[in-house]
Amino acid sequence: MRVGSERPLVLTAAAAEGTLGLDPDAEAPNEVVIAIGRPEFDRLGAALQTVLGGRAVRLDTPDLLEAALTEAIAGLGATAQTRVARRPAGLYTPEGWELGLTTTDPIVETAIRRAIREGVFAA
């Protein structure tokens, strides 16, 4: 088979079988983006400070919040890839925060949403 007129398209055996090397029984990761404002950010920060105790510094940058989320998620016995962004990126108000999560464990999203609503980081 050819793509265009110059390059041949080479199919591997897995691609020819339709599997593409993927495990059809594996659970697909859940990708979630949660946008929060200052009040929700403050509740989430307080919940993470409580869970992490003295190990958490003031969570005022995306990197610090991302590290705290990762540690708190590990404390739940779960794993997730976290991405945090602040909009706008500088120290201006009003600001918004974006929490990006990729996980196969639903307790991660539950714990974060509960922390945002109630100020308690627990599943």
pLDDT in tens, 36-62: 998 999 999 999 999 998 776 788 889
**Cβ neighbours of residue 106 closer than 8 Å, sequence gap 6 or more:** 30
- Separation of alpha carbons 81 and 73, rounded Å: 10
- The dihedral built from the CA positions of residue 51, 55, 59 and 63, taken in this order, carries a sign that is negative
**Domains located in the chain, CATH noted:** 27-118 (3.30.70)
- Dump pLDDT digits (tens) for 15-44: 555 555 555 666 667 889 999 998 999 999
Q: Which pLDDT value is given to residue 41?
A: 93
